[in-house]
Amino acid sequence: MVFIDGSNIYHALLDNLGTTKIHYGRLAEVLASDGELVMAYYYDTSNRPNDYTMTAKKHQRFLEWIRHLPKMTLRLGRLKMKSRKCHECKQVVQVPVEKKVDVMIATDMLKAAYDDQADILILVSGDNDFTYTVEEIKRRFEGIKVDVACFRSSLSNELRSVADKVRFLDNLNLLESCPRKSLSELVPSRKS
Tell me whether residue 61 is in a domain.
yes
Burial class (CB in 10 A: 0-12, 13-18, 19+), 186: middle
The answer to whether the beta carbons of residues 80 and 45 sit under 8 Å apart is no
Per-residue pLDDT, 192: 31
| Residue numbers of the domain that contains 128 | 2-185
Per-residue pLDDT, 51: 67
CATH code at 35? Answer: 3.40.50.1010
Tell me whether residue 175 is in a domain.
yes
The answer to whether the beta carbons of residues 167 and 123 sit under 8 Å apart is no
Per-residue pLDDT, 52: 64
Tell me whether residue 93 is in a domain.
yes
Tell me whether residue 192 is in a domain.
no
Tell me whether residue 35 is in a domain.
yes
The answer to whether the beta carbons of residues 128 and 146 sit under 8 Å apart is no
Per-residue pLDDT, 112: 97
**What pTM, to 2 d.p., does this model score?**
0.84
Tell me whether residue 191 is in a domain.
no
Alpha carbon separation from 16 to 25, 107, 132, 169, 180 (Å, rounded): 20, 29, 26, 10, 18
- Angle at alpha carbon of residue 12, lines to 37 and 82, rounded to 5°: 110
Percentage helix, strand, coil for the chain under 3-state DSSP, each rounded to 5: 40, 25, 35
The answer to whether the beta carbons of residues 62 and 7 sit under 8 Å apart is no
Number of domains in the chain: 1
Tell me whether residue 34 is in a domain.
yes
Helices 101-114 and 131-140 meet at what angle, rounded to 10? Answer: 10
Question: Consecutive sets of 10 residues in the chain, 192 residues long: mean pLDDT of each?
Answer: 95 89 90 90 81 78 92 92 85 84 97 96 96 97 96 95 94 59 44 35
Tell me whether residue 170 is in a domain.
yes
- Across 86-157, the runs of DSSP E, i.e. the strands, are 92-99, 120-124, 145-150
